[in-house]
Amino acid sequence: MLGGSSSLNGGIYVRGNRKDYDNWAAMGNPGWSFDDILPLFKRAENFFVKDVPEGDAPYHGTGGYFPVSHTYVTDVLPAFIEAGESLGFPYNKDYNGASQRGFSRVQVAAKRGKRYSTARAYLKPVRHRRNLHVLLNTPVSRIVIDESTKTAKGIEYLNEDGSRRFVSATREVILSAGVVASPQILMLSGIGPKKELEKHGILMLSGIGPKKELEKHGIQPIVDLPVGENLQSHAGPGGLYFSFTQKSGLFVPDLLTTDFLPELENYLKTGDGPLSSPTGFEGVAFVNTSHAADPDWPDIELLMGALTIATDGGNFYKRRIGLSDEAWETYSGLKYRGGFGVYPHPTRPKSRGKILLRSANILDHPIIIGNYFKDPDDVKITIEAIRLVLQLGEQPAFKKLGAQFYKQSLPGCRHLEQFTDEYWECHIRQFTYLHWHDGGTCKMGPPSDPGAVVDPTLRVYGVKQLRVADASIMPVMVSANCMAACIMIGEKASDLIKSSQILNTTERATAELR
C-alpha cells in the first residue's frame, strides 16, 4: 500500500519530548534542536483538537497537509485520567504542547473520523503532477553507485515481470524505505559492514565499511559505516488487562451484531462513534519512574486501549501478535467481555539490536535481531511501570466500572511466585508486545561519531548525492510513537534538499561569471 506504516499503524500522533530533539543537537547534529524543528511540526499540521490550553496554542499549526484530531473515547478514558490524578499525576490536555508529562486523551492523524496516511495527506493532492511517477510492486534492489567517484547515479528496481530496470538521478537519490529496508538496500548496494557484505558475496565500494574490518585487510578506510546497527525499539509487556463487571469500553460483540447498523449510519453521517476509532486506544500517559533523571523527560509511556486481547473473541489479536495456542488459552476467560488494557514501555530503551542481511536477494526479508530487554535497566523500568498499571486499576475511578485485573499466569511463568520481580521479568520476556516504534539503523551524527551513517544534512558518509530520510536516522529514539517524528524528518529533508539545490545553482552561476 502507499503511505508506509502510516497506512496501517494505530494513527496515534505524538511528537515526542522537547529534550529528545535538544539531545540530538547536543550529540553534534546542528539544526535538529526542538526550536529548530518546531516550525516543521507546525507546518505539517492541520490541528483540529479543541479546548487546547492557551499556552499550548503556539505549538500548533492549522494550514498543513496532515490533520490532527482527537479520537473517539468511551467511559474508560475519564476513569484513566481520574485514576492518574488519584496517584498524583497531572491531567495534560495537550501532550504535544508545552509539556509532555501527564495523563491525556490520544490525538490521532484523522479528520472526521477518517484515517490520514502520509499518502492521503501529501501524495493524493499532487498525484496529477507531471513530474510525479509512482511505481507499484517494484522493490528497489540496489542504489547504483559510481565506484570511481563514489556518487549515487540512480536506482535499480525489479519490475513486475521480474526484469531489472534502472532509473537515473540527475541530482540526488533519497532513500526513505524505513528502519528495516533502508539499511537492507544500503547493504545490497555495497554500503555497510564489510564482513556482513562479503558473507553474501556483495561487492563493497573500496574503503567503505567498518574501520577495524577494513584495516585487517590493509585497506585505508574512507569512512566507517555501521549500517544496520543501533536498532532501537519500544517494546513492553502485553497481557496487562482488566475486565469489567459492567458493559464499558469498546464492546466489540455489540458492534458486530445489534448495534452495527445504527453505528455505521452515525459514522457515515457524523464521522464519529466507535467505528471512527483507529485501534481502540483512547488514553496515553507520559510519566517518570524512580529511574528517571529528569522530571521533564518521562521515561515511560502508557498506552490505554478500551478493549482487551479477547473482546472480539481473539481472532484479530491472536493473529496480529502471533501468540501460541497455549499462551492464547491463558486469556480465554476474557472472550467477549468488556475491559481495557494498558501497554507500558520505556520511552528511551538502552537495549540495541541490529539488521542483518539474510541473503543478497532484496526479496529475502532481512534478519531483525531486536535484543529487546537485553539491558537490565530496561527490565527494571518496565517492572516499575507494570506496578504503576496495577495501581491504576485499583483506583476508585476504575472500581466504579467494576475493573478487575486478569491474573492468569502465562505458561512459561507459572513456576514463579506471582507478581514478584522475577515473575514480571518472565512475563515481559514471554509476552513481549512490540509497538512497531523503531529507529536508529542509519544513525545521524557528526563525522566524529563512529556510529554515524548519515551527517546532520542526512547525506550518507562517503557517498555523494545520497541521503536517507526516515526513522532510521534517529540517533536516539524519540519518547513517543514515531509517526509524527517521521513526518517532521520528511519536512526537514525537503528543506535540506531545496537549500542544497539553491546553493548548487548559485555556485554554478558564480563559476560561469568567473
Residue 395: how many other CB atoms lie within 10 Å: 18
DSSP state of 131: T
Closest CA to 316 of 264, 368, 250: 250
DSSP state of 464: B
Closest CA to 473 of 484, 457, 462: 457
| Contact yes or no for 207/219 (Cβ under 8 A) | yes
Nine-digit cell string for 508: 554554478
| Contact yes or no for 111/67 (Cβ under 8 A) | yes
Instruction: Round to whole Å and give the CA distance between 373 and 376.
Output: 7
- What letter represents residue 492's amino acid? K
Burial class (CB in 10 A: 0-12, 13-18, 19+), 89: buried
* φ and ψ of 54, to 5 deg: -55, -35
Instruction: Round to whole Å and give the CA distance between 183 and 187.
Output: 6
Active site residues: 437
66-70 vs 45-47, strand pairing mode: parallel
Residue 126: how many other CB atoms lie within 10 Å: 10
Nine-digit cell string for 242: 482488566
Binding-site positions: 140, 436-437
Binding-site positions for FAD: 140, 436-437
Nine-digit cell string for 244: 469489567
- What is the separation, in whole angstroms, between the first and last Cα of the chain? 50
If phi > 0 it is left, if psi is from -120 to 50 it is alpha, else beta; for residue 478 that is beta
Coil, strand or helix at 393: helix
